[in-house]
Every structure is written in C-alpha cells, then in structure tokens.
A and B are shown apart, each in its own frame.
Chain A
Amino acid sequence: MAEPKTKYDRQLRIWGEQGQAALEKASICLLNCGPTGSETLKNLVLGGVGSITIVDGSKVEFGDLGNNFMVDDSSLGQSKAKCVCSFLQELNDAVKAKFIEEYPEALIDTNPSFFSQFTLVVATQLVEESMVKLDRICRQENVMLIFARSYGLTGLVRISVKEHTVIESKPDHFLDDLRLNNPWPELRGFTEAIDLNVQDPVAHKHIPYVVILVKMADEWKTSHGGTLPSTREQKREFKELLKARMAATDEDNYKEAIDASFKLFAPQGISNCAEVGSSSSDFWVMVAALKEFIANEGGGEVPLEGSIPDMTSSTEHYVNLQKIYQAKSEADYLVLEERVRNILKKIGRDPHSILKATIKSFSKNARKLKVCRYRSIEDEYNNPSPAELQKYLTDEDYSIAVGFYILLRAVDRYAANFNHFPGQFDGGLDEDISRLKTTAVSLLNDLGCSGLTLTEDLINEMCRFGAAELHAVAAVIGGIASQEVIKLITKQFVPMTGTFAFNAIDHKSRLLNLC
C-alpha cells in the first residue's frame, strides 16, 4: 500500500480519488497570513493541495506570537509570509509552498495579472476597497475567489465565482430513483416472473419490496381506472392492502414496502435546478443533451441513476434486480453520451472533448445537479437588498449576526475615514463608539434600511473588538473557508451561497442571502 493513499484514507472516503486528484492539481494563493489565512492554508496543506503561494508584506510582531500557530519566538522581525510558509511546509512535503513578501493591496494595484496563475485565491483580512478590486480581477481571469475575515468575535466568509456547477453534489438524503410507478419493460418483466402468492414462507418473505410495490401498484391501477393512490385516504388504503398481503407479522419485506410506499406516490419528473444557459461549458453542453434526453428517450424522465438501496430479499432476487437497474442506467447513459457528442459536433467542438467518465457521472447524477452563482462584490455593495436585510434584522435569533455583517462594512468605511479601526487603540474608545454609530447610521441609509438601527450593545462590542484577530475565531473562519475551498476545487458537494456572518457570542451565525 502506497503511503500517500494511506495518509489520505480518511478523506478519500469522502471525496474519492478524483476529488483528491483535483486537490493535488490546484494552486492556491493566500493573501495575508495572519491566523485566519494560516489556519485556512493549514487545513488545505494537510489535505494535500498541489501548491500554495503566500502573499504578505508584514514582519512578525510580538502580538502575532499570541494568535498565530505558524510563527514562534524565533520568527520575530522576520517576514511573516516566509515564516508561515516554512511552518506550513512541515505539515506536508507533497505540497509546493512559496511565499512573496509583498502587501496584497499593492499587488492588487500594481500587478493584477499575477492572480491569473492560480486555481483559487483565498483573500483574508482585506478591507472593502481591496475586495472590490480583487474581485474584479479574479472574475476577469476566471480565478475562483473566497474572502475570509476574522474580527473580534465575528467574521465572514464569502465565495465569489461567476458560476460553479456541481455534478456530484452527494446529498445526505435523497429519494432513490426506483421508477416504481413507471417501470421499464425489463423491470416489469422481472416483477411478472415473481409470484406474490408463493406458498413457501421463506420465498414469500424474501420478495424485494420493489417487486411488491410495482405489482401492487398495477393491481391498484386496474381497480381504480388506471390511477395511483393520490388522496391521503387512498394512500392509507393502499398501505392496508399491503398489510393484508403479509403472510406473517414478521415479514420485513412487507414492512419495508409499507414504509417505502411514499416512493410510489412521489411526483415524477425532475424537480431540481438544472438551469439551461447559453454558455458552452462542458456542464451546459451536457445539460442541453439532458434536456433532449428527457424530451425524447427519457419520456419525461432523466437517465436512471442505477443504484438501489438495500432491502430484505433473497440474494438472487436482489442481485438480479441490481443488474436490471444497472443495465437501464448504462443504456440511458449511452443514449445521453450520443446526444452529447452530437451537440459538441454541432457547436464545432471535438465530439470527444468531454470524457466518457464525466458524461457517465453526469448521467447518474442527473437529478442531483447543482448550479451556484455569486454576484460580484461590487454589485452586492452597490445594489443592496434592503428587503432581505430588513427581514434578517428583525429576526431576533439572527439579528446579531446580521448586525455584525453591517458593522463589518461600517468599520471599513470608518477606517477609510480615520485611518484606524474603531477601538484599535486603547485611548479614545468613547469617541470611536460615537463615530462608528454615525458611520453605521449612514451605511444603513445607503443600504435602504434607514428605518432600522443597530443596538448600542452591538456597536459597543464592535469597538471593543478593535479589529482583534483572535486565534479561535480565526480557526473557525479559516476552517469554514478551507471547507468551502475543498468543495469548490473537488467540484463535489454544494458550496455555500451567500455571505456567512459569524457570531461567536452565542453561535447564532447566519448565512445571508445577499449575493
């Protein structure tokens, strides 16, 4: 057994070899390596990303020793980027680690093309002005971007990517695709060969519930003018019918059939968000093919996923059933593949430019596709969503988190005016508080929420925080940022959509739907 595979065993069980390969190909750029940035990268280096480049122009100060695990006493006065880089390298020698001793703000202003070399940029502790500029650059260069910021007992995480498409969203709970109410000929043939009234009790209790439900649905239809149970009363009746067919009270297969009967009643067709756009990325080419499939061969259905849940059954029935589902899934995939190749040809692309494996995965996950889009930072700031904000601000449980979101923006305005953050220094706290209050009022006004106020308590707290970057808060924010980075790079699972406003006071944090 190869060592790297063993080392990554616990995560390979989550995102598989493919996800790992994507990570190992990725190059990540970190802006500012305080604890928020260092902790984000720590988690990514451990997971085995391809390369990291750390950009930070500052030197290690005494205070950094108290909040950053990636520096120690010997680092004092040295380049922070260099020290953090070398400590991070210790964690995993498979990662290529580089550093650039320069302030990110300067790099954003003087060398925008610098960012095009990366898969993804993690921008930490940036103020509003730099965020807007960087966002513009990354969107232009098609580089994924994630902002992370820790500030006292609050912070935020925000993804900025034009569009992120996911084939393998791997939801925790998802209704099986069993086609119980619409069996294809092979499945119907299989169920017809099985006698529900078989005398042998062992055989009777080992008929898989898929067979029971398909046959009983047919029986119901014959006596109900070809329709399935639809009212609550009918559904209850249908379950009674199932119960009546049990040969003994301990027949688990019938119990499962009763429990799974809702799968029969569930509405058909695709309810998910496969949006069709005009862009011609591989994903959207496949979506176009999927649309054609549904309208033609699919007869209103997407390609079959092909896996079935475990159920009480004889081994033989189960294995055969599995083969029937897999064969149908494979056949559907082949049709879809053909359609993908044709579309590629039509739009003038190499018909084999999308890998078989990708189309197969797309075909199997057709019901689970996800598209995430994010507004630009500039747009979010220039075109606020006052209705959303007001809704959040009046939701008692989450008003602190939303208040923090607004105050995080207020402190940037404050800093732009006064050259320091409110409460950053020990003197003049009272003055800072009243200035921050004024700034917040004018910001709320600009956001179209002039009628609303933030509590004195919250404004006071924000000044108390004085832009502190606490290690534990940075570890939460960095942890979340790195988790989102992994989802973006592996293209598995679903990244957050919105701005995560962290509330470390009572942990009633909030994902704000503002982007």
Chain B
Amino acid sequence: MIRLFKVKEKQRETAENAKDEAVRRKQTAGELRLHKDISELNLPQSCGITFPNGKDDLMNFEVSIRPDEGYYHGGAFLFSFKVSPIYPHEAPKVKCKTTIYHPNIDLEGNVCLNILREDWKPVLNINTVIYGLYHLFTEPNYEDPLNHDAAQMLRDDPKLFESNVRWAMKGCRIGDTFYSQCI
C-alpha cells in the first residue's frame, strides 16, 4: 500500500487543508445497539424512563417502577442504568437508588437478577432487563437472597413480611435501617 501512503503524505504536506469536518464524537457499536434498544422500548404504564443527561446520552438513564400488584403495590422505585461502550457484550450495570426492604435487593442497591450477571447474553436487551426488574416486585423470592433478613421473613412469615414492606415504603425504620419513603 506504500503508493497510497505516499500520495497521502504528499497531500498532507501540501494541503494541510482546513479540516472540513467538525470534531465529531465517535459513536461506538455499543451506543448504536443501545440506540436500537431504546427506540424499541415498549414499557408498561407502571414503568418510566428518564435521561438525566439529555437526549444525546443514552448510556446513562434511570428507570422508575411502580408495581401495580403484589407486596410493593403503590411504591415507586428508582433504578440507575449504566451501559458500557461494548454493550451488549457486557450487561448494563443496574443499581436500585431507593433504599428498599426486598429479599433480592440489598441496602446498597445491589440487585440479584441472573440476567444482569451470570446469565447475561448479547441477545437480551434493555426491555428484558426492565421486565426482569418488574418481576422482582411482583414475585420477590427468598431462594436467592441478597437481603438475608427480608428473605427469611418472606419465607417464615409472609404476613409480617408484608407489613414490613408497607412500613418500609412509608420511610420508616426496621431494625437499624431507615428506608426511603416511596409511597
């Protein structure tokens, strides 16, 4: 290819032509794929999405979920999504911003959802993840606990678990923990 390189170098020397192209941001393959995911989002009424950095940053967004059934009915829970430039090779990073009493979500906002870690596959998308999160509210499970106490309570005394959930959603204290008011 040396002939081409030579031509190019000559052009470079002689022209140094005014860079006709404005400095443009490089859109990665991950951003493009995310653009597709977002433009195809089909969320239920109970889920909302916002883009804190405006319409041109899709890589960071927030999802709010208001379950319309189950223990968490009436609450509103906020999740932050951080998407990597090599998405969907890597799962989005999701954290729960609301301090919540939930067997599968710990007080730091870590979420135990298989498709966010060990079972993530590039064919999955943002819609799947949001539905997965929604599912955690309608069917919390004590088999894969992150909040050990909440899980035990759900297993041993669902009635008390339910009242703890209501209590927590009002922003009250359970044990040593203050929960976010979200109802």
**Chain A residues with a Cβ under 8 A of chain B:** 201-202, 205
| Chain B min CB distance to A465 (Å) | 21
Tell me, in angstroms, the Cα distance from A201 to B144 when the chains sit together.
Answer: 11
With both beta carbons as reference points, the residue of chain B lying nearest to A248 in the complex is identified as B143
With both beta carbons as reference points, the residue of chain B lying nearest to A201 in the complex is identified as B143
| Chain A min CB distance to B112 (Å) | 13
> With a CB–CB cut-off of 8 A, which chain A residues contact B143?
201-202, 205
B101 at the interface (CB under 8 A from A): no
> With a CB–CB cut-off of 8 A, which chain A residues contact B142?
202
> With a CB–CB cut-off of 8 A, which chain B residues contact A205?
143
With both beta carbons as reference points, the residue of chain B lying nearest to A250 in the complex is identified as B114
> With a CB–CB cut-off of 8 A, which chain B residues contact A202?
142-143, 155
**Chain B residues with a Cβ under 8 A of chain A:** 142-143, 155
| Chain B min CB distance to A367 (Å) | 30
| Chain B min CB distance to A255 (Å) | 11
With both beta carbons as reference points, the residue of chain A lying nearest to B145 in the complex is identified as A202
Label chain A's interface by main secondary structure: helix
Tell me, in angstroms, the Cα distance from A202 to B151 when the chains sit together.
Answer: 11
> With a CB–CB cut-off of 8 A, which chain A residues contact B155?
202
Tell me, in angstroms, the Cα distance from A202 to B155 when the chains sit together.
Answer: 10
Tell me, in angstroms, the Cα distance from A205 to B143 when the chains sit together.
Answer: 9
With both beta carbons as reference points, the residue of chain A lying nearest to B151 in the complex is identified as A202
Tell me, in angstroms, the Cα distance from A125 to B25 when the chains sit together.
Answer: 52
Tell me, in angstroms, the Cα distance from A202 to B143 when the chains sit together.
Answer: 5
With both beta carbons as reference points, the residue of chain B lying nearest to A251 in the complex is identified as B143
* Nearest 5 A/B pairs, CB to CB: A202-B143, A201-B143, A205-B143, A202-B142, A202-B155
Tell me, in angstroms, the Cα distance from A201 to B143 when the chains sit together.
Answer: 8
Tell me, in angstroms, the Cα distance from A348 to B64 when the chains sit together.
Answer: 80
Tell me, in angstroms, the Cα distance from A277 to B89 when the chains sit together.
Answer: 51
Tell me, in angstroms, the Cα distance from A459 to B155 when the chains sit together.
Answer: 79
With both beta carbons as reference points, the residue of chain B lying nearest to A204 in the complex is identified as B143
A-B contact pairs, 5 of them (CB 8 A): A201-B143, A202-B142, A202-B143, A202-B155, A205-B143
With both beta carbons as reference points, the residue of chain B lying nearest to A203 in the complex is identified as B143
With both beta carbons as reference points, the residue of chain B lying nearest to A206 in the complex is identified as B143
| Chain A min CB distance to B13 (Å) | 27
Tell me, in angstroms, the Cα distance from A201 to B154 when the chains sit together.
Answer: 14
With both beta carbons as reference points, the residue of chain B lying nearest to A205 in the complex is identified as B143
Tell me, in angstroms, the Cα distance from A312 to B143 when the chains sit together.
Answer: 13
| Chain B min CB distance to A437 (Å) | 32
Tell me, in angstroms, the Cα distance from A201 to B151 when the chains sit together.
Answer: 13
Tell me, in angstroms, the Cα distance from A229 to B155 when the chains sit together.
Answer: 39
| Chain B min CB distance to A247 (Å) | 11
| Chain A min CB distance to B178 (Å) | 29
> With a CB–CB cut-off of 8 A, which chain B residues contact A201?
143
Tell me, in angstroms, the Cα distance from A205 to B114 when the chains sit together.
Answer: 15
Tell me, in angstroms, the Cα distance from A151 to B19 when the chains sit together.
Answer: 46
Tell me, in angstroms, the Cα distance from A201 to B142 when the chains sit together.
Answer: 10
| Chain B min CB distance to A205 (Å) | 6
Tell me, in angstroms, the Cα distance from A316 to B94 when the chains sit together.
Answer: 30
| Chain B min CB distance to A200 (Å) | 9
With both beta carbons as reference points, the residue of chain A lying nearest to B114 in the complex is identified as A250
Tell me, in angstroms, the Cα distance from A202 to B103 when the chains sit together.
Answer: 14
| Chain B min CB distance to A167 (Å) | 34
| Chain A min CB distance to B124 (Å) | 16
| Chain A min CB distance to B82 (Å) | 27
With both beta carbons as reference points, the residue of chain A lying nearest to B155 in the complex is identified as A202
Tell me, in angstroms, the Cα distance from A202 to B156 when the chains sit together.
Answer: 13
Tell me, in angstroms, the Cα distance from A205 to B155 when the chains sit together.
Answer: 15
Tell me, in angstroms, the Cα distance from A205 to B141 when the chains sit together.
Answer: 13
With both beta carbons as reference points, the residue of chain A lying nearest to B118 in the complex is identified as A252
| Chain A min CB distance to B26 (Å) | 31
